[in-house]
Chain A
Amino acid sequence: EADIYQTPRYLVIGTGKKITLECSQTMGHDKMYWYQQDPGMELHLIHYSYGVNSTEKGDLSSESTVSRIRTEHFPLTLESARPSHTSQYLCASSAAGPPNQPQHFGDGTRLSIL
C-alpha cells in the first residue's frame, strides 16, 4: 500500500492569495513529482525532483514553485493564485531506478480560485 499524502484535499480561495499544497511520502522514495490534471485530460508533469535539493520544471509550464528540503516532503507553492490555476494537482513518488518504476500517487488537491 502506497503511503503518500496530500493536503488539503479541496481548497476554494480568492484571487491573489498565496497557496501551498502539501505532499508527503513515507516510503523513502528519492523521486517525487507534481502533475496537473483538468477533467477529461491527461496528467501533465509540472515539477519533479530526483532527490533533496534537486528540482526541475516539467513539460507543462507552471507559475508554481516547489522545494525539496527533506526526502519525504515536496510542497508546491503558488505566490499569487489566479482563476487559471483552477485544476486538480496530483503528487506522486517513485523509487530510484529506471523510468518504468511505478509512480505512487496521492489522492490529489482540487483547487478552485475564485
Chain B
Amino acid sequence: DQQVKQNSPSLSVQEGRISILNCDYTNSMFDYFLWYKKYPAEGPTFLISISSIKDKNEDGRFTVFLNKSAKHLSLHIVPSQPGDSAVYFCAASGYGGATNKLIFGTGTLLAVQP
C-alpha cells in the first residue's frame, strides 16, 4: 500500500501562472517532507523541504504548504517558467523504525507552456 500518493500524473500550466502540485500521505509518523525535481535522463535533485512543526516553507518561487490534519502537502511554483517542466516527486520520512527512510510518491509531470 502506497504511503505517499501523488494522484495527478501530469499537469499543464501556462508560463507566468501558478503551478500547484499535490501530495497525500497516510503515515502519521512522518516528520519531514521533501520535494525533488527530475529532468529526463538525470537523477532527482532536491528542491525544498518542510518539517512537520511548520505549515509553510518558502524558497524563492517555490513554496511548500503542509496540512497535517489532512495529511496533505502541496508545492506552489510562482511564476511558472518553461525550465520548470520536469517530473516532481514528493517524499516523506520520519525518525526511527519503518519511517527512518525516504518514501517517494509516483511523481507528477509538470509541463509549462510558453
Contacts and interface: CB of A to CB of B under 8 A. Distances in A.
Given A43-B104, A58-B101, A107 B43 contact: yes
A99 B100 contact: yes
A99 B49 contact: no
B62 to A, nearest CB: 14
A105 B45 contact: yes
Contact of B4 (A42, A58, A108): A42
B41 interface: yes
Nearest to B94: A99
Nearest to B6: A42
Contacts, number: 63
| Interface residue range, chain A | 20 to 34
Given A42-B4, A43-B89, A58-B101, A102 B46 contact: yes
A44 B104 CA distance: 8
Q: Report which residue of A4, A35, A42 has the largest number of chain B beta carbons within 10 angstroms of its beta carbon.
A: A42
Contacts of B95: 98-99
A12 interface: no
Contacts of A43: 44, 89, 104
A36 to B, nearest CB: 11
Contacts of A58: 101
A103 B106 contact: no
B101 A45 contact: yes
B101 A102 contact: no
B9 A103 contact: no
Contacts of B102: 45, 99, 103
Given A100-B32, A100-B49, A100-B51, A48 B101 contact: yes
8 contacts: A2-B45, A99-B99, A100-B34, A105-B36, A105-B43, A107-B41, A108-B42, A108-B43
